[in-house]
Amino acid sequence: MPAALIFLGSAGHRQTAYPKARTKKLDSETEPAPSTGLASKDASLSLSRQERERLRDCEPEALERFYFVFFDRVYGYVRRLLREEHLAEDVTQDIFMHIQKSLPTYDPSRELRPWVFTIATNKVRDFWRSRRHKEALREVSVDGEKRADVAVSSRRGPVEELESGEVSAAVAQAIEAMPEIMRSTLVMRYYEGLSFEEIGKMVDRNETAIRKRYSRALDELRQRLGQFLGPEGI
């Protein structure tokens, strides 16, 4: 169970929330996933305009609904990028703290998902740039198997066809070895099902640039995993 979320209540007091959505540990055996292909554009991640307005006003029921809807997906996204559970827990808590502090400036006419994942992506980038990330890399490098275990999804798309049995470690290491920009694009597009347009808005790039970046990420996977690929490749 990820660490409790600490956030400021309406009166300014620190409160602790255990999101109801976190009912099971996310790992290679329990991670929820659709059966095939890219993650679909999940309607469950949409809140009505009225709900978004209540969320902006930090109404308790709206906050609870928000955490229930978004926590698992944000945590899963962060964990795929950072590879380590305890790091993902800390960064996810930081993300939701930042979200709550930013809610009064949120425009409820905007969909929540791109806004939330923009904040999440920026927080992950901040972590990558931090000294703490460099220290974490030294710790993780001692245990390659652990690093590989957290990367595997049960989805059976072109990438996940590789993520089984003896090649799972190679897939995890190949994704981890990518430049940060390519890695985050691959995760946002393939695992989170964000459109190229949505990703472009999040990172301030046009759709064409994001398509090219995603294509380069797949090309790099092909190069690194060539020995495991069949005639059809990825």
Q: Helices in the chain by DSSP H: which ranges?
A: 49-56, 60-82, 85-102, 112-129, 131-140, 144-149, 168-177, 180-186, 196-203, 207-224
43-95 pLDDT, tens per residue?
456 788 999 999 999 999 999 999 999 999 999 889 888 878 898 999 999 99
Q: Domain segments of the chain: what residues?
A: 5-228
107-120 pLDDT, tens per residue?
999 888 889 988 99
Q: What is the mean pLDDT of the chain?
A: 72
Q: Note the pLDDT of residue 11.
A: 38
Tokens of 72: 């698992």
179 pLDDT band, cuts 50/70/90, is: confident
Q: Note the pLDDT of residue 234.
A: 55
Helix, strand, coil fractions of the chain, as percent rounded to 5: 60, 5, 35
